[in-house]
Amino acid sequence: MSKEPSSNLESAMQMLIKTFHKYSGKEGDKYTLSRGELKELLLEELGTYLGGSKDNEAVEKVMNDLDANNDGEVDFTEFIILMGALTVACNDFFLDCKTDEKPTDECKGESAQKKN
Q: Which residues bind Ca ion (CB under 5 A)?
A: 24, 28-29, 67, 69, 71, 73
> Residue 35 or residue 108: which is nearer to Ca ion going by CB?
35
Give least dist CB 72 to Ca ion, A: 7
| Residues 6+ positions from 36 with CB-CB distance below 8 Å | 26, 27
Between 33 and 107, CB nearer to Ca ion: 33
The residues, any chain, with a CB within 8 Å of residue 92's CB and separated by 6 or more, are 107, 110
3-class state of residue 32 by DSSP: strand
Q: Fill in the DSSP letter of residue 4.
A: -
Give 23 or 107: the residue with its C-beta nearer to Ca ion.
Answer: 23
